[in-house]
Structure 1
Amino acid sequence: MRRLLFIILIVLLSACSSVETTQTEDVFSVGLLLSDSGLGDGSFNDSAFRGLEKTRDELGIIFDYREPVDQNFNGKLEELIKDDHDLVIGIGFTAAPAVNELADKYPKQQFALVDAVSDKKNVISITFKEEEGSYLIGLIAGLKTKTNVVGFIGGEDVPLIHNFEQGFKDGVKAVNKDATVLTEYAGTFGDDQIGAKIASKQIEKDADFIFPAAGFTGIGVLKEAQKEGIYAFGVDSDQFYIAEKAVVTSMLKNVDVALYDVVKKLINEEGLTGEQLELGVKDNGIDLTPIRLIQLSNKEQSIIDKAMDKGE
């Protein structure tokens, strides 16, 4: 009798296992390769991760991720590919070489690349008009500076971050031709202490608003700004809670929204293979968080609103 019960139990467990396997196979699966600064950057990576959490909660996908803190982009990306995900995403321009190489090696794998453009037929490229958001930040800095000195701090000295810098400078000069824009690059996205040191130098030169586009390095900038009693701007995600006495607003690069939309379209079999998506203010790819700590006059607010309407 016990043997019979044992056999029945095994059969039932096997049946349940088969059902679970079938269900898992039917669920859309995503693999996410973060940039080398990893989760907890309070910026780009965290935004991407939030996007996949939302797709999991609302669309029922499953996802896994890797953090290439050892710079092993190819190895980590290939791990995700071998896990047989429906979509594998590379975050940041540093992932582009690995995505392009492995897109050739695995032509049947669907990839997405964020913040860089690929010409591979199995790669969806997602870029943002970061200069539009930086322009808006520059307008605020130019309008509200009392010293006529503001600062920009970049992470690595690369074309993508130059877009942030140029947009910021253009915004400042559009409303304040007398303002000086201090600029320095940290050479890294992953060192908050370097960010703090550069911010300190700019503050010594009378900068009263600083805009970092520097990933985790920028966290040090925000904290130093708060420590020294000046204002700063967040980037990519809402960074107000990192330095609540300093962060006036944050320029949002809505990576989370973009990834949610792409996954939703792929689930609905809306072919996106090889497409290049460039998202700005009008596409909900770029935005600002609520302005805090300072007050804009009606005229100043009108300037910001008009720029947003134009998508500048």
Structure 2
Amino acid sequence: MRKTLLTLVALFTLLVPLLAACGGQPAAVQPTATTAPTAAPTAVPTTGTTDSSKPRIALVTDLGKVNDGTFNEFAHLGALRAAQEFGLEYKYIETQAQADYEKNIQTFVDEGFDVIVTVGFLIADATKKFAAEHPDIIFIGVDQFYEPGTVTDNLVGLQFREDQAGFLAGALAGMMTQTGTVGVVAGVEIPPVKRFKNAFDNGARYVKPDINLLGVYLPTFIDPALGASTAQQMIGEGADVIFGAGGPTGSGAIKEAAARGVYVIGVDQDEYVTTFANGTAPGADRILSSAIKRVDVAVYDQIKAVVNGTFKGNGIALYEAANGGIGYADYHDTADDVPDAVKRRMEEILAALTTGELTTGVDPVSGDVDPNTIPEPQPFRPADVKLPKIALVTDLGKVNDGTFNEFAHLGALRAAQEFGLEYKYIETQAQADYEKNIQTFVDEGFDVIVTVGFLIADATKKFAAEHPDIIFIGVDQFYEPGTVTDNLVGLQFREDQAGFLAGALAGMMTQTGTVGVVAGVEIPPVKRFKNAFDNGARYVKPDINLLGVYLPTFIDPALGASTAQQMIGEGADVIFGAGGPTGSGAIKEAAARGVYVIGVDQDEYVTTFANGTAPGADRILSSAIKRVDVAVYDQIKAVVNGTFKGNGIALYEAANGGIGYADYHDTADDVPDAVKRRMEEILAALTTGELTTGVDPVSGDVDPNTIPEPQPFQP
């Protein structure tokens, strides 16, 4: 993190004048005349007896006092805590005018203090100057940025993760809005302000994906009237929570909004104390909280490091949730307005940011939105919201038969257990029972019905149209987007990626240099399997001899078997079956003849080879599988979270865990470790998108433009 901050050094240099009006500058304190007298140092009593061998601590405030609720007070509290805990001498000076910065620092230099804390970026130049002149004194600059490696080892600037604080503010706004519209009145569009605003947006969407977000950057930090008029406009557009992130401009916005009865959220410090005068100013009963930088924690931490001999200067120290550097302020007068469920969720979100389990979706340096780290929404559900009841209708078979039935059941069961849902299933005995079984769950009032297999697709589509209040999830069912109701989704899978993996495995395991595919009817999903198998085999073995054929039926095992026999006669020593029972007939025959085989869709070691008890089970290398369990769980989770999208298909691929390959089972010792490692690498490359299959994921045709350059396997 600290390394990435280097990329903004030049930008920060240019932005220092702009920053002077944002964040750490106290909104309510105006500079006094330069002729104002300098305050005398104030000694602070500490517990116990100070030790002359220990460092003496001093603090120079920004304009203002150590009880003004700004960074001054937080820095003072951090220094005071350290002084009391470690028995240190501690004094401070409350700066009266900007012209006094150097004079105040000089006072403590002359008095022989070992550590001098200075508050705010306006005092940064003076701090840097004195640090260079006095290498024996440690300087700690609050909210000050210094390029690492360009300052002396006795100087550190304290920086904070505004994106995490902004995310917390957004989450609170998203849970407290009643209109579904919230707004941000932000200052100049510079990195720290972008971090606040963009993360606020992401935090609001995290708890309320359909939220309406209003937000604007304003060209100044010091125009409260402009902030107020902007807030008025947002309120006119329906905003009932407004976040101010722009110095006095933002404070003007939240004062105006609060006066109009709208909830507001402050920034940097606890604005209940500052902007709302510790609860005495109008509107104090409408400030929910503030997105705060824990300056007290950072100052204490740095003084502790000095005491412990672990202080590191020469740049910046970054404070974030993980080290207690950011957080949110007390709810104060709105404590009774904020439901307990919201308070608990805020604690959970802060905890997840602290552990790193949750990211903000914002680049912590530039402040730009980072699409790769935007967290998946976890909508806030008040305690009185009813959770959905889940039902599953299998295809012919049972929930432990190793087919899509079992995988769908496992996905539904996982979701039910994780989210505390009621869950039932019916095991279909005959195709004629499809509609009757679905009707059973409709009559019992289930909210989500999962149906398995393409044979049940017509019945699923019919019931979805008749019952728009029930969500239907069809496993391995295709519905043209826009032609079905919004409560219906068909789960589709990237057969080309699964086929590519199968081809790569075959290409690495063949000894004769010849492999084959026994495929079913030449339709897109089968073409995706077969063409990608060929490309995967060539990817690892460019000179491979490929045999393959489409057969006119999916339900003729004998035809599959005779086709496999022919391929074996032509030298194939690995055969992939991709054609339902026809393909299964092919791999059973090939395995019985001692040839390696690869299954399809589900783990055929479990199904076709009866969990290892059928002849030939010791010859099945793996299966190219569709992770139906992942897809079903994912869709039910979307229902629970309020992010379900119907009216077509949901595509599952390597990137979302939707495809893969099965365990090696009885052939685990036959497959060299080098092959296993290469398979893991190929799956990882498909997952990241670094590797393409060379097959159109819709039509199944070979796409010459995306065929990957061969990377031959070297045992």
Superposition map of 1:217-296 within 5 A: 217-240=582-605, 241-242=611-612, 243-274=616-647, 276-291=649-664, 292-296=668-672
Aligned amino acid, residue 461 of structure 2: N
1:154 aligns with 519
Deviation at 1:283, TM superposition (A): 0.9
1:102 aligns with 463
Deviates more, 1:161-170 or 1:48-57: 48-57
2:545 aligns with 179
Deviation at 1:155, TM superposition (A): 4.5
Q: Quick one: distance in 2 between partners of 1:78 and 1:194?
A: 38
Q: Quick one: distance in 1 between partners of 2:417 and 2:627?
A: 18
**Contact (CA 8 Å) 2:488, 2:646: kept in 1 or not?**
yes
2:477 aligns with 116
1:141 aligns with 2:506: yes
3-state secondary structure, aligned to 1:152: strand
Q: Quick one: distance in 2 between partners of 1:300 and 1:202?
A: 26
Q: Quick one: distance in 1 between partners of 2:661 and 2:549?
A: 22
Deviation at 1:284, TM superposition (A): 0.7
Pair 167,83 (structure 1): closer, same or farther in 2 beyond 3 Å = farther
Deviation at 1:113, TM superposition (A): 1.9
Superposition map of 1:162-177 within 5 A: 162-174=527-539, 175-177=541-543
Deviation at 1:305, TM superposition (A): 1.2
2:414 aligns with 54
Greater relative contact order, per chain length (Cα 8 Å cut-off, separation 6+): 1
Give the unaligned 5+ runs of structure 1. 1-25
3-state secondary structure, aligned to 2:468: coil
Pair 66,156 (structure 1): closer, same or farther in 2 beyond 3 Å = farther
1:63 aligns with 2:439: no
Aligned amino acid, residue 159 of structure 1: P
Deviation at 1:176, TM superposition (A): 3.1
Deviation at 1:200, TM superposition (A): 3.4
For 1:176-210, what per-residue CA distance to the aligned partner results, in whole angstroms no more than 9, with x for missing partners? 34412222437235x65554444334333332111
Pair 67,199 (structure 1): closer, same or farther in 2 beyond 3 Å = farther
RMSD, aligned CA: 3.2
1:309 aligns with 685
**Contact (CA 8 Å) 2:561, 2:589: kept in 1 or not?**
yes
For 1:158-189, what per-residue CA distance to the aligned partner results, in whole angstroms no more than 9, with x for missing partners? 32222212211221233334412222437235
For 1:53-91, what per-residue CA distance to the aligned partner results, in whole angstroms no more than 9, with x for missing partners? 334444443122242633564454344433332111232
TM-score (norm 1): 0.76
Pair 68,30 (structure 1): closer, same or farther in 2 beyond 3 Å = farther
Aligned amino acid, residue 125 of structure 1: G
1:31 aligns with 2:396: no
3-state secondary structure, aligned to 1:35: strand
- Number of residue pairs matched by the alignment: 286
Pair 293,199 (structure 1): closer, same or farther in 2 beyond 3 Å = farther
Q: Quick one: distance in 2 between partners of 1:53 and 1:196?
A: 37
Pair 69,215 (structure 1): closer, same or farther in 2 beyond 3 Å = farther
Indicate the structure with greater helix content: 1
Q: Quick one: distance in 2 between partners of 1:203 and 1:44?
A: 30
Q: Quick one: distance in 1 between partners of 2:636 and 2:675?
A: 41
Q: Quick one: distance in 2 between partners of 1:104 and 1:51?
A: 25
Pair 266,147 (structure 1): closer, same or farther in 2 beyond 3 Å = same
3-state secondary structure, aligned to 1:42: coil
2:576 aligns with 211
Choose the corresponding residue for 2:565, options 194, 200, 209.
Answer: 200
Pair 115,59 (structure 1): closer, same or farther in 2 beyond 3 Å = same
Aligned amino acid, residue 671 of structure 2: Q
Aligned amino acid, residue 624 of structure 2: M
Aligned amino acid, residue 650 of structure 2: L
Pair 290,85 (structure 1): closer, same or farther in 2 beyond 3 Å = same
Aligned amino acid, residue 262 of structure 1: Q
